[in-house]
Amino acid sequence: MQRGLCSSRAGRSRYSRATGSQEGSAYAKALTASLARNFADASWLQVLLGGVTAAVGEEVFFRGFVQGQWGVLAGAVAFMIAHIGGRDIRIIGYWSLAQGLLLGWLYQATGNLLVPMVAHALFDMGAMVHFRRIMAGNPQPS
C-alpha cells in the first residue's frame, strides 16, 4: 500500500507545523468563523446585491472573456487566483477552482452566460445567509 505525502498522523502534523495550518475540525471552525465575520452585519439588500453583482461581473469576465479566449481551464484557474485570500481563508481559493470548472462547464454546455450567473449568485447569496446565521450564534474558533 502506497502512502501519500501527508497520509500519516506524524506527516500531517509536520505539514501543519511547516505551513502554519490547523488540522481537521479546528481548522474548519476557524475557517467558518473567519468567513462568517465578513457577513455578520450584511443586510438582506446587501446579500441580494452582493450576490447578483459579484455573479454578473465575475461571470462576464471569467466565463465570457477569459473562457471565451483561452478555454474552461484558463477561466477556472483565473477565477481561483482571484479568490485566493489571506492564510485563514486560502482554501476558498482552492475551492474556487472546482467552482470555476463547474461554472465554466455550465456555460459551455448551455452557451448561455445567464446560467452560470444564476448558479453563482445563488451560491454566493446562500453562503452569505449561512454565515450570517452562524454569526447570530456568535461562534468562537476553538
Q: Is the pLDDT of residue 81 over 50?
A: yes
Q: What is the mean pLDDT of the chain?
A: 81
Q: What separation in angstroms does the CA of 11 have from each of 5, 18, 23, 31, 56? A: 7, 10, 12, 22, 42
The domain limits of the chain are: 29-132
C-alpha cell belonging to residue 13: 502534523
| pLDDT (average), residues 57-85 | 96
pTM across the whole model: 0.73
What does the alpha-carbon distance between residue 55 and residue 128 come to, in Å, rounded to a whole number? 13
What does the alpha-carbon distance between residue 107 and residue 123 come to, in Å, rounded to a whole number? 16
Structural contact between residues 125 and 55, judged by C-beta atoms closer than 8 angstroms: no
Confidence of residue 142 (pLDDT cuts 50, 70, 90): very low
Mind listing the pLDDT tens digit for each residue in 11-68? 444 444 444 555 667 877 777 777 777 777 888 999 999 999 999 999 999 999 999 9
Structural contact between residues 51 and 128, judged by C-beta atoms closer than 8 angstroms: yes
